[in-house]
Amino acid sequence: MEILVLNGSPKGDLSVTMQYVAFLAKKNPGHTFPIVNIAQRINQLETDPVAFDAVVAQVRKADAVLWAFPVYYMLVHGNFKRFIELVHERGAAPAFGGKYAASLSTSIRFFDHTAHNYINAVADDWGMRYHGRYSAKMSDLLDPAERDRLAAFAAAFLAAAARGLPTARAHQPLVPAGGRYTPGPAAAPVDTGGRKVLLVTDEGPDDANLAAMTARLAAAFTGPVETVNLRDLDIKGGCLGCCRCAWDNTCVYDGSDGFTAFYREKVEPADIVLYAGAVRDRYLSAKWKSYFDRTFFKNHVPTLSGKQFAFLVSGPLAQLANLRQILEAYGEFQHTGFLGIVTDEGDPAHTDALLDRLAADAVAQASQRYLPPPSFLSVAGGKLFRDEIWSRMRFPFVADHKYFKANGLYDFPHRDRADRLRSFLLYWLVHIPAVRKQVYGPQITTHMIAPLKKLVDSL
Ligand SMILES: Cc1cc2nc3c(=O)[nH]c(=O)nc-3n(C[C@H](O)[C@H](O)[C@H](O)COP(=O)(O)O)c2cc1C
Q: Is there a single domain that holds both residue 141 and residue 247?
A: no
Q: Tell me the per-residue pLDDT of 366-379, one tens digit each, with 9 for 90 and over.
A: 999 999 999 999 99
**C-alpha 392 to ligand 1 mean position (Å):** 14
CA-closest residue to ligand 1 atom 3? 72
Q: Is there a single domain that holds both residue 110 and residue 223?
A: no
Q: Tell me the per-residue pLDDT of 217-270, one tens digit each, with 9 for 90 and over.
A: 999 999 899 999 999 999 999 999 999 999 999 999 999 999 999 999 999 999
Quote the pLDDT of residue 442: 79
CA-closest residue to ligand 1 atom 28? 72
Of the residues 350, 376, 402, which one is the last residue of a structural domain? 376
Of the residues 163, 189, 208, which one is the last residue of a structural domain? 163
Q: How confident is the model at residue 176 (pLDDT cuts 50, 70, 90)?
A: confident
Q: Is there a single domain that holds both residue 26 and residue 81?
A: yes
CATH of the domain at 295: 3.40.50.360
Mean pLDDT along residues 331-356 = 97
Mean pLDDT along residues 92-105 = 98
Q: How confident is the model at residue 415 (pLDDT cuts 50, 70, 90)?
A: confident
Residue 161 sits at φ, ψ, to 5 deg, of: -65, -40
Quote the pLDDT of residue 233: 97
Mean pLDDT along residues 148-176 = 97
Q: Tell me the per-residue pLDDT of 179-214, one tens digit each, with 9 for 90 and over.
A: 999 999 888 999 999 999 999 999 999 999 999 999
Q: Is the pLDDT of residue 428 over 80?
A: yes
DSSP letter, residue 226: E
Quote the pLDDT of residue 186: 86
Quote the pLDDT of residue 178: 74
In which domain, by residue range, is 335 found?
Answer: 197-376
Share above pLDDT 70 across residues of the chain, in percent, rounded to a whole number: 100
Q: Is the pLDDT of residue 67 over 80?
A: yes
In a domain, 407, yes or no: no
By C-alpha distance, which of 216, 352, 317, 194 is closest to 274?
216
Q: Is there a single domain that holds both residue 8 and residue 99?
A: yes
Mean pLDDT along residues 119-135 = 98
Quote the pLDDT of residue 386: 98
Mean pLDDT along residues 324-337 = 98
Mean residue pLDDT across the chain: 97
Q: Is the pLDDT of residue 122 over 90?
A: yes
In a domain, 154, yes or no: yes
Q: Is there a single domain that holds both residue 354 and residue 424?
A: no
In a domain, 395, yes or no: no
> Which helix or strand (DSSP H or E) is residue 198 part of?
strand 197-201
In a domain, 174, yes or no: no
Atom of ligand 1 nearest to the CA of 75: 8
Mean pLDDT along residues 45-71 = 98
Quote the pLDDT of residue 375: 97
Report the length, in residues, of the chain. Answer: 459
In a domain, 409, yes or no: no
Q: Is there a single domain that holds both residue 121 and residue 230?
A: no
In a domain, 381, yes or no: no
Residue 124 sits at φ, ψ, to 5 deg, of: -65, -45
Q: How confident is the model at residue 443 (pLDDT cuts 50, 70, 90)?
A: confident
By C-alpha distance, which of 68, 132, 135, 66 is closest to 96?
66
Q: Is there a single domain that holds both residue 214 and residue 156?
A: no
Q: Which residues of 350-375 are buried (b: 16+ CB within 10 A; e: fewer)?
A: ebbebbbbbbbbbbebbeeeebeeee
In a domain, 406, yes or no: no
Cβ of 73 closer than 6 Å to ligand 1, yes or no, is: yes
Q: Is there a single domain that holds both residue 70 and residue 151?
A: yes
Q: Is there a single domain that holds both residue 109 and residue 152?
A: yes
Quote the pLDDT of residue 7: 99
The domain total for the chain is 3
Half-sphere exposure (Cβ direction) of 89: Cα atoms closer than 13 Å: 13
Mean pLDDT along residues 417-442 = 92
Mean pLDDT along residues 300-312 = 97
State how far the Cα of 304 lies from the Cα of 193, in Å rounded to an integer: 20
CA-closest residue to ligand 1 atom 2? 72
Of the residues 163, 179, 213, which one is the last residue of a structural domain? 163
Q: Is there a single domain that holds both residue 12 and residue 142?
A: yes
State how far the Cα of 104 lies from the Cα of 66, in Å rounded to an integer: 7
Quote the pLDDT of residue 27: 98
CA-closest residue to ligand 1 atom 6? 72
**Amino acid (one-letter) located at 153:** F
**C-alpha 76 to ligand 1 mean position (Å):** 9
**C-alpha 70 to ligand 1 mean position (Å):** 5
Q: Is there a single domain that holds both residue 291 and residue 213?
A: yes
In a domain, 185, yes or no: no
Q: Is there a single domain that holds both residue 441 and residue 294?
A: no
